Amino acid sequence: MNDVRGRRVVLTGGAGFLGSCVKRQLQALGPSTLQIPRSASYDLRDRREIDRLFSESRPQIVVHLAAVVGGIGANRENPGSYFYDNAMMGIELIEQSRQFGVEKVVVIGTICAYPKHARVPFSEDELWDGYPEETNAPYGLAKKMLLVQSQAYRQQYAMNIVYLLPVNLYGPADNFDPVSSHVIPALIRKVVEAQQQGRSEITVWGSGKASREFLFVRDAAEAIALATDRYNDGAPINIGSGREITVAGLVELICELADFHGTICWDASQPDGQPRRCLNTTRARDKFGFQASTSLRDGLRETIEWYRAHAAGRPSRAA
């Protein structure tokens, strides 16, 4: 089955870090049109703005990537706005898609929706077995409510809504802003700036004992495009690499690849976040043939090189 070819597609968040990669993947599938609504032109929290967007573009497929995101610090500082903005964008987009008769909606959730102490590797069938990690629970729950809405609308209105759960992403053109960035871009910036400034140590939040799984951004885009084109079931799908690394191991790897030989100081007064994160990715492989192809070492090397060439020494901004 090929759902994208010849269809009118709207891709929210298509100008961002992940979205720009998804845009290229979707274009290769041959849609008749692919529209990227920008936040300056359409406030996706407002149903009237979505109505205007859909009236202009008449989409047959909507892929919803747009989100307000950040690392642990940003989530702690903005729990209310992260909940409201992410919930309202998704809820209104899904409802307006129903009213406009959109054929298919692909919703991008988050690994932050999983319970804090979920069994590793995280299985989609255990998504409801506990409360999310507190530092990002408002964001995770806002996204999780879109799964509830998707399944309710599938049941009542027979809508074809697909829900994907990507793990932590990274790659070239990531957000390297120290206030709002996730762990990999934050660490790369710390290391490169320490080298530039001749400092012999860096400070890293937490104990280093927590583990994470990471997915290279182009692999994530491939998975989203494959699901948009081939997957039409209501069961949520994990999108990840299936490979886990401790934060301490990640820091050591980034230092090695960046050729930084200084001291790593751990600030244990800052939170680790969720103790472990690693996904069971067999459903994505079985349902639409996705397997991550970029190793963490190769992806980090490319990301470090990109940062040095494009962003090092300049103020960062969110993608």
Asked whether the whole model's pTM tops 0.85, one would answer yes
**C-alpha–C-alpha distance, residues 63 and 19, integer Å:** 10
CATH of domain 8-169+214-242+277-293: 3.40.50.720
Catalytic site residues?
139
DSSP 193-249: HHHHHT-SEEEEES-S--EEEEEEHHHHHHHHHHHHHH---SS-EEES---EEEHHH
How far lies 233's CA from each of 81, 88, 91, 268, 277, in Å? 31, 24, 19, 43, 25
Of residues 70 and 173, more confidence is placed in 173
Yes or no: say if 212 and 273 are a contact pair by the CB < 8 Å rule: no
pLDDT score at 293: 97
Domain locations along the chain: 8-169+214-242+277-293
Chain segment 86-139, per-residue pLDDT in tens: 999 999 999 999 999 999 999 999 999 999 999 999 999 999 999 999 988 999
Chain segment 209-252, per-residue pLDDT in tens: 999 999 999 999 999 999 999 999 999 999 999 999 999 999 99
